[in-house]
Amino acid sequence: MTFRRWQIVLGLSLVVLSAVLYFFHYTVFHDAHHIFIYMVGDVAFVPIEVLLVTLIIHSLLVRREKRIVLEKLNMVIGTFFSEAGTGLLVSLSDADPGLDSIRKKMIVSNDWSDKEFEVVSRHLRSYDYGIDITKVDLENLRNFLITKRDFMVRLLENPALLEHETFTDLLRAVFHLTEEVRSRGDLAGLPDSDYKHLAGDIRRAYVLLVSEWLDYMKHLKNHYPYLFSLAMRTNPFDQEASPIVK
């Protein structure tokens, strides 16, 4: 209510000021004809001004602001993969029984176009992700996730994440997986039903992780060639990957 009252007071003040200035003009020049000519001209320009300011200039400013926010968000995503995402992707992909069927498609190269990224992304949407829980070292996975827990909590507190729903979903899935393995004592003697439940949690995080990783590779390819070069040399799907330039 205070903000609305302030707006009303400001609006009335501006109208009164305009009336006073018009009255002063008439008092000095005694020429109502020119006052109404300029008044009508100014009023006639208002729709064009609204068009320029609200529809064009405002749209350009909003687009620029969104681009800046997304750029900052991609920095956050890059930090996530450097700190936790790539290592987690290596660990989870090793437990995917069908990984060999998509491994070659995930070897991103410098020659890829946006179309090739889209083709692979479309293929992944129909890929039947799987997790063989017997191939997951749950103890090491728990230790890894616990060490990264505070880092991921800080990422979730970043307001820029509101602009990127899929990455937010990924963080929530990884955070939930962290809580699942952290809340258990001995991970070696669980019933089959619980292993099945954990496999579902791992698969959820794995699916989102692969998709987000591919989108991030596309971003690096298009905007940061030097970062993309390192990403290619540390590709979690490439068994021969090495950071050493050969």
One digit per residue, pLDDT tens: the chain, 246 residues?
455 777 788 778 888 888 888 788 778 877 777 777 777 777 777 777 777 777 777 677 667 767 666 677 888 888 899 899 999 999 999 999 999 888 888 988 888 999 999 999 999 989 999 999 999 999 999 999 999 999 888 888 877 776 678 888 999 999 999 999 999 888 888 999 999 999 999 999 999 999 999 999 999 998 888 989 998 888 988 888 788 877
Burial class (CB within 10 angstroms; exposed 0-12, middle 13-18, buried 19+) of 238: middle
Tell me which H or E stretch contains 163.
none
State the pTM of this model: 0.73
- Helix (H) or strand (E) run with residue 175 in it: helix 165-182
The encoded tokens of residue 6 equal 């302030």
